[in-house]
Amino acid sequence: MIDPKRLAGLARMAALRKDADLMALAAETVRRTAADDRLRALDTAAVVARSAAEGNTDPAFLAAQEGFARWVAARRSVLTQDLDIATSRVAVERARAARSFGRCQALDATRTRLAEEMARRSHRRDGGAT
């Protein structure tokens, strides 16, 4: 038979781990959102720059515009990679949090089952009287 005190200790530890995993998931989600926001801001800046360049025939301006477009493409590559990494980290933390939830549920179910079993044994030992 499982020791109820040991099971209660395991349940407390599992709950602490679940809280830690949920905090890690929240932190990674914030990082992913920030990476997505940076990428969207870059895309918005690129659209604004393209619309400002329409109809302009000044060679210096067009050269600057080309340089900016190259910088945007390079920066977009970096930001896309950051977003991909952040997305994969969110997936990892989501899986950890799911395992933690499952662990807590399993321990709670075991504690409930053990309490019911102990109550039945106590009831039988007392001769079924209430």
- Whether the CB-CB separation of 18 and 94 falls below 8 Å is answered with no
What average pLDDT does range 44-62 have in this prediction?
Answer: 90
Q: How far apart are CA 90 and CA 28, in angstroms?
A: 5
Confidence category of residue 127, pLDDT binned at 50, 70, 90? confident
Residue-wise pLDDT for 66-114, tens only, equals 999 999 999 999 999 999 999 999 999 999 999 999 999 999 999 999 8
Q: What is the DSSP string of 63-115?
A: HHHHHHHHHHHHHHHHHHHHHHHHHHHHHHHHHHHHHHHHHHHHHHHHHHHHH
For domain 4-120, the question of CATH label 3.10.20 is answered with no
The pLDDT, as a whole number, for residue 128 is: 65
What average pLDDT does range 50-68 have in this prediction?
Answer: 89
Confidence category of residue 52, pLDDT binned at 50, 70, 90? confident
Bigger pLDDT: 128 vs 52: 52
| Domain extents in the chain | 4-120
The pTM assigned to this predicted structure is: 0.78
Give the distance from CA 55 to its chain's centroid.
45
Task: Give the CA distances from residue 102 to residues 11, 29, 30, 91, 98, in Å, rounded to whole numbers and listed in that order.
Answer: 12, 21, 24, 17, 6
